[in-house]
Each structure stands twice: as structure tokens, then as C-alpha cells.
Copies of this chain bind each other. A is one copy, B any other.
């Protein structure tokens, strides 16, 4: 199983003082620096973040509450593996929540809101998938902008949490050419339907968009899995 080696020098080590331990570990999990099922040894993490064990323990417990870290008694913490089923499940949860969040935005969007959406969209089109991490970030912004002022903070929180998980693996998976065109097209249609204040159209466009997106990620994961299985066994 190896992986005994020290885990690739933690988060930048420079400005650790500013960002909290929790944020750092969380980021390391979502970015993939800490890989699936990796053991999270508290003393090791304590060294990496130049702190003692208690802050680490507490951060891990918080992440446990979020479901990003798994505990086994007397054996400590492991990184929650983000496998195909998990991604599919998370995507489907988002699929249930996102239309609900969108509705209010369509009904209340101002001209400035739409302008902002178009600005983000133009940036997405400008980089045109040349930088995957940046694309994922912009895509996240596009959606988040529409929901962040929703009155339902619980729904927004759940959505965001799951979106981050989804985004974390999106960056590690290729985006097919056909899917790239579809993403841009769907975003445009979404903006148009918001402009037209057409809630139903917006929701159905969104449904198509996120369903396709989820399916695409799962498909890519399936391909990856098949490949590595071919290599190993």
C-alpha cells in the first residue's frame, strides 16, 4: 500500500499563520493533495502546520462533522474517499436543491445582477478551458452568484458544501470537447431565460445543465477507474 512517505509538504507553509488549520486541511483534502483514505496522523499534521496536537484534533473533528473525514476509534482519522458513488450522490443532492435556489434569483435579479453574470460568463469563454482550475473557479462563481443572497442560508450552505466537493474532483478530470461547448451554450441559455424572467425555462435549462455536468464527471471517473483497474489487476 506504501504511501508511507510524508505527505507532500503541506499548504504553502508561508502564510499558514493567516489561514486557519481547518481551512488548510480542508483545502488539502479538496484539492487532492491529501488523497482518498489517507491516514491523517495528528502529530504529523501538527509538525506540518507548526502547531501542537490540539488544534489539529479540533480541526479534524470539525471536518468529521462535515463528513470530509472519517474516524475509527483508537485508529484516528482518514480522508473520506471521494469515489464514484459518493460523487453521484452529491451531484444528485445538488440537483434537488439548485432549482429551488435558482427560482428566487430569476424572480428578483436586477440589471446589475445579470450584467455580473454576463461578465463572469465572458471570462469563462475568454479562457476557454485553457486553465481547468480557473474554469472550475469561474463556473463556481457563476452559480454561487445566483444563490448567495438567497434567504435560505441552510439550503445555500448545503449546496455550497456539496458544490465544493464536486468542484474538487472536477479539476482532476478532463472535460470532453463536446461538453465544453455544451457548458457555454447552457450558460448562455440560462442568462437569456433569466433576462426574460422565465422561471420555468430557467429551471429546466439548469436541470439539463447540472444533470449533464454530474453525468459527465461520473462518466469520466468511470473511465479513470477502468483504466487504473486495467493497469493494476
Contact = CB atoms under 8 A, between A and B. Distances in A.
Q: Which has the most chain B C-beta neighbours within 10 Å: A61, A62, A154? A: A154
Given A152-B89, A154-B86, A61 B65 contact: yes
A115 interface: no
A147 to B, nearest CB: 13
Given A67-B1, A67-B2, A158-B158, A93 B152 contact: yes
A45 to B, nearest CB: 15
A81 B152 CA distance: 15
Interface of A is mostly: helix
A63 interface: yes
Given A67-B1, A67-B2, A155 B93 contact: yes
A64 interface: yes
Interface in A64-120: 64-67, 85-86, 88-90, 92-93, 96-97, 100
Interface string A14-56: 0000000000000000000000000000000000000000100
A151 B92 CA distance: 11
Q: Which has the most chain B C-beta neighbours within 10 Å: A1, A54, A90, A158? A: A158
Interface of A: 1-2, 54, 57-59, 61-67, 85-86, 88-90, 92-93, 96-97, 100, 151-155, 157-158, 162
28 contacts: A1-B67, A2-B64, A2-B67, A57-B57, A57-B58, A58-B58, A61-B61, A62-B62, A62-B65, A63-B65, A64-B65, A66-B66, A67-B157, A86-B154, A89-B151, A89-B155, A90-B154, A92-B100, A92-B152, A92-B154, A93-B97, A93-B152, A93-B155, A93-B158, A96-B96, A96-B97, A96-B100, A97-B97
